[in-house]
Amino acid sequence: MPENTEPAAPAEDDATARRVAAHVRGRSHRAEQRGLAGWLAGMSVRARWVVIAAGALVAVTLLAVGVDIASSAGRVHPGVRVAGVAVGGMTRIEAARRIDSGIKPLLERPVKVSLDAESWDLTAAQIGASVDATRLAAAAYGIGRGTDVVSTISERFSAWFGRQDVALAVTPDEVLLSGVLGDIDKAVGVAPVDASVEVSSTAVRLVPATQGKGIDRTVARGNILTAFASNDRSVSLALVPRPASITEDGARAAYDTARKMVSAPLTLTYDKKRWEVPAATVGGWLAFRSAGATETAGAVAGTLECYLDSAEVSASVVPLVKEVGKVAQDASFKVSSGTVSIVPAQDGLGVDAEDLATRLMQALTGSGERVVELPMKRVAPAITTDAAKGMGITTRLSTYTTSYASSNTPRVNNIHLLADALNGTLVAPGAVFSFNGTIGPRTAAKGYQEANAIVNGKLVPQLGGGVCQIGTTIFNTVFFSGLPVVERHNHSLYISHYPKGRDATVSWGGPDFQFRNDTGNWVLIATSYSNSTVTVSLYGTTTGYKVAYSTGAFTNTVAFPVREIKDATLPKGTKVVEEKGVSGRSIVVTRTVTKNGVVVHKDSFKSVYKPAEEVVRVGTKVSAPSTPPTSTP
């Protein structure tokens, strides 16, 4: 139906008029059937006039109603109101507009909610309050248009005298209103505290429940919506008791169970070995949780259950039984002279935690001996031998070696630690390798030492110094493998002993090095090192990639600044270079990766190096003039 087009209402009004006419005709027809003249003749004169007057009144009334129905066809009956807003004589669309504009000022007024000394001014926006004007207009239009003739007449007479006022219905956003009620409840309420059981060593205590208090949200909701629909904009709330979910009676069974469980020590056995667990240790295993509700004497209350905390049990049991267990060994890869082989996986032997928990509960709560034989089960490795074979790691894809001074012991230590952390890393098909994500922070707890690193364009001692040696090495390995480089950063200063434009810096919380495994199989990162070299290799399934590259010339050369420092310990005019300067420059390395003569991808790696100042110490010391020797006569 087009907008602003009224429904075909006159047909409905015609039907009502027809019902009234039929009502009149029916009365006349019945009178005729009984023989009106004969019937009246049998009455007294006074009775006949009463009947005639009543009939005339009914006829006039029905006639008036019929005329009223015809005159108000398609419009709200005159005199009808909606929450005090007059809509009589209007079409439903006009009535909806009038209701919307008439109610809007009412909704814009806040409702004051109070409880004792606390109060809150709620706006319609805060609770998403709204009025469906179209529905209210339809309700107003329906007055005097019912199917029952008597009700129709009654409603229309009532409307004529202004007694038909449709009540306002305010609809909230239930999520917003619930949040507002929750904030109020949190501000003034006190949460109940369930009964609980406390265990300290072998001492067990039943802690009684504490009753809380809060607002009745259902009542509060209704009162707030009523206030928004009326001129009385105040709502007074009251606190009601809020019982705990678990009472002492609901927690007593858990209390009794806990006391029994810590009443004596426990013995664990396996084969011919035995371990005694003190009762105090058992007490540390106990935990409690809600076990649902039960009905007692017509009241529903929650119950508390005592159980064994699996983490606490494992923390105590695993060290005891480590001599009979065996850690599963994942399948791994061994690299030698460019070839890779698989080191088979080994099954482990460990405690069946689920079975152990069942046995412990039976022993600790039963009436028999408190002895439990440890249930052991096979522990499968995370990477089986078959899984390793299916990874497709058979061929060396690329390898690269860089060198460094063996005299810097802390730096060499860090390089070796980093290489060990990288060695054996597996990169899934389609996954992105992150240097920082794999290595993690370089900390003293991991064995890293302070060594020189470039920070803000200067060489300074830093924990983990030497990390960029590994970063540069793995970047070049990936560079020549043809795999896509996702992230790479050059050093801030040019370092001549790295390949031109092919260095890479990494820092925890800062620059990272990342590459993507775009092969259909896994990629293995393998490392090896000596006191002066480190090698990083990639192994996987042959990709068929061929790599060609070109290194551009240095451009944008910027001379390094020189800073002189006066030194009174050096003879005047003497100059000593304390820190050698490095010129700033830029360079671009382009890599082209092809497969079967088709370019897979082509990328450029641009490096921009800042100049580093040269520090020169200049002597200012002046030598004292020599005194000629004197002779003695």
Does some domain include residue 459?
A: yes
> Which is higher by pLDDT, 25 or 162?
162
| High-pLDDT (> 90) share of the chain, % | 54
Residue 64 pLDDT class (50, 70, 90 cuts): low
How far is C-alpha 352 from the chain's CA centre?
34
Average pLDDT over residues 179-186: 93
- What is the structure's pLDDT at 70? 55
Average pLDDT over residues 559-568: 89
Average pLDDT over residues 9-18: 57
- What is the structure's pLDDT at 416? 95
Residue 614 pLDDT class (50, 70, 90 cuts): confident
Average pLDDT over residues 553-560: 92
Reported as a single tens digit per residue, the pLDDT across 105-156 is 888 899 999 998 899 999 999 999 998 889 988 888 888 776 776 676 776 7
Listed residue (544, 526, 543) closest to 535, CA to CA: 526
Average pLDDT over residues 528-550: 96
Q: How far apart are CA 360 and CA 372, in angstroms?
A: 7
Reported as a single tens digit per residue, the pLDDT across 571-600 is 988 889 888 888 989 999 999 999 999 999
Residue 3 pLDDT class (50, 70, 90 cuts): very low
Does some domain include residue 539?
A: yes
Question: How far from 137 is each of 3, 131, 156, CA to CA, in Å?
Answer: 16, 11, 16
Give buried/exposed letters for 64-84 (b at 16+ CB in 10 A, else e): ebbebbeebeebbbbbbbbbe
- What is the structure's pLDDT at 292? 73
Average pLDDT over residues 513-525: 96
Reported as a single tens digit per residue, the pLDDT across 405-440 is 898 898 899 999 999 999 999 999 999 999 999 999
Give every strand in the sheet of 371-373, ordered side by side.
273-277, 266-270, 371-373
Does some domain include residue 500?
A: yes
Residue 197 pLDDT class (50, 70, 90 cuts): very high
- What is the structure's pLDDT at 1? 36
Does some domain include residue 363?
A: no
Average pLDDT over residues 65-71: 56
Does some domain include residue 416?
A: yes
Residue 2 burial class via C-beta count within 10 angstroms: exposed 0-12, middle 13-18, buried 19 and up: exposed
Does some domain include residue 285?
A: no
In the numeric block, which tokens belong to residue 222? 């209704």
Q: How far apart are CA 199 and CA 284, in angstroms?
A: 8
Contact between 77 and 91 under an 8 Å Cβ cutoff? The reply is: no
- What is the structure's pLDDT at 449? 84
Least confident of 147-156, 234-243, 410-419, 465-474: 147-156
Q: How far apart are CA 500 and CA 429, in angstroms?
A: 31
Reported as a single tens digit per residue, the pLDDT across 478-500 is 999 999 999 999 998 888 889 99
> Which is higher by pLDDT, 27 or 285?
285
Residue 275 predicted with pLDDT over 70: yes
Does some domain include residue 120?
A: no
- What is the structure's pLDDT at 415? 93
In the numeric block, which tokens belong to residue 207? 């802690």
Q: How far apart are CA 633 and CA 287, in angstroms?
A: 109
Residue 88 pLDDT class (50, 70, 90 cuts): confident
- What is the structure's pLDDT at 57? 58
In terms of DSSP bridges, do strands 562-571 and 614-621 run parallel, antiparallel, or are they unpaired? parallel
Q: How far apart are CA 217 and CA 73, in angstroms?
A: 45
Q: How far apart are CA 423 and CA 73, in angstroms?
A: 89
DSSP label at 314? H
Does some domain include residue 243?
A: no
Q: Which residues contact 15 (CB under 8 A, 6 or more apart)?
A: none
User: At which residue do the structure tokens 């830029």 appear?
Assistant: 586
The last residue of one of the domains, among 144, 171, 198, is: 171
Q: How far apart are CA 433 and CA 450, in angstroms?
A: 26
Residue range(s) defining the domain that contains residue 52: 10-110+128-171
Reported as a single tens digit per residue, the pLDDT across 326-373 is 889 999 999 998 999 999 999 999 888 889 989 999 999 999 999 999
Q: Quote the number of domains for the chain.
A: 2
DSSP label at 21? H
